[in-house]
Amino acid sequence: MNQLTRWFSRNLVRIYACVGFAYLFLPIIYTFAFSFNNSTKSNLVWVGFTWNNWRNPCGAPDICNALGNSLKIGVLATFLATILGTLMAFAMGRYAFKGRPIINILIFLPMATPEIVMGASLLTMFISFGFNPGFWTIVIAHVMFCISFVVVTVKARIASLDPRLEQAAMDLYANERETFRRVTLPLVAPGIAAAALLAFSLSFDDFVITNFNSGDVNTFPKFVYISAQRGLPPQANVIGSSMFLIALIIVLLGQFVGRRRAGVR
């Protein structure tokens, strides 16, 4: 008994962590499990196992149109936000210049503003300039709220670089451009990749800002929100689970590659 309590108190943090992980993953497991449900109308009660939803993920009306829009918007917004944000991160991480505190505040503000305020204000602007909300207003909005996250992520990577590596390149007669291309950029690349991944998942997952600025363009989160009121089709669970698995594999692969590279060095 005494031993048991001692084991318990020694492993308290671990046990707690296990409970924490169970809590984190319960809805994911639920979503995954119910993607195999042979439900006809609403996916609330377990009916029976089937592969049909996975074989035919576009089976629910409009779901793949919404998914396609989300993917297109995600890729475009990630591309633009990653370029703009990375350029800013280099300026912030590498140069001293006047007006830095103001730029810092401008980068911080979108992260400290509730989504609904950003969504509402953008819609106000689009309306007063006579812009019809649609596909491109969503892309514009997503780039806007992703930039700051890209800057923060890439800047952290730049700050953690060992300056001696670049000095060494210069000592070996590389000029500035070569140093940047062959030393700095490859070293910062993992940070840029992480930022792009973050930007994509923020964009793909966004509902609030999108809902304000989308007009009649459907996106995957919007599809889920609208159909949740009538009962979500199991195909939505299939798509959610696949996105989850794909992202997980990308991140784990990235870690694996990173570790192998570190091992080689």
Q: What's the min distance (Å) between Cβ of 135 and another protein?
A: 15
Binding to another protein by CB under 8 A, coded x per residue (else -) over 77-106, reads ------xxx-xx-xxx-xx-x-----x--x
Residue 117 binds to another protein (criterion: CB under 8 A): yes
Residue 139 binds to another protein (criterion: CB under 8 A): no
Is residue 129 packed enough to be buried (19+ CB in 10 Å), middle (13-18) or exposed (0-12)?
exposed
Terminal-to-terminal C-alpha distance of the chain = 50
Q: Can you say whether the dihedral through the CA atoms of 164, 158, 245, 135 is positive or negative?
A: negative
CA distance 171 to 174: 7
Binding test (CB under 8 A) with another protein, winner from 56, 104, 121, 132: 121
Residue 221 binds to another protein (criterion: CB under 8 A): yes
Residue 166 binds to another protein (criterion: CB under 8 A): no
For residue 201, give both structure tokens: 């998942």
Binding test (CB under 8 A) with another protein, winner from 56, 104, 175, 255: 255
Angle between helix 185-205 and 63-94 (nearest 10): 140
Contact 36, 50 (CB under 8 A): yes
Residue 194 binds to another protein (criterion: CB under 8 A): no
Size of the site for another protein (CB under 8 A): 81
Q: Which one of the spans 51-59, 164-172, 182-190, 199-207 is the region binding another protein (CB under 8 A)?
A: 199-207
**Nearest to another protein of 169, 202 (CB atom):** 202
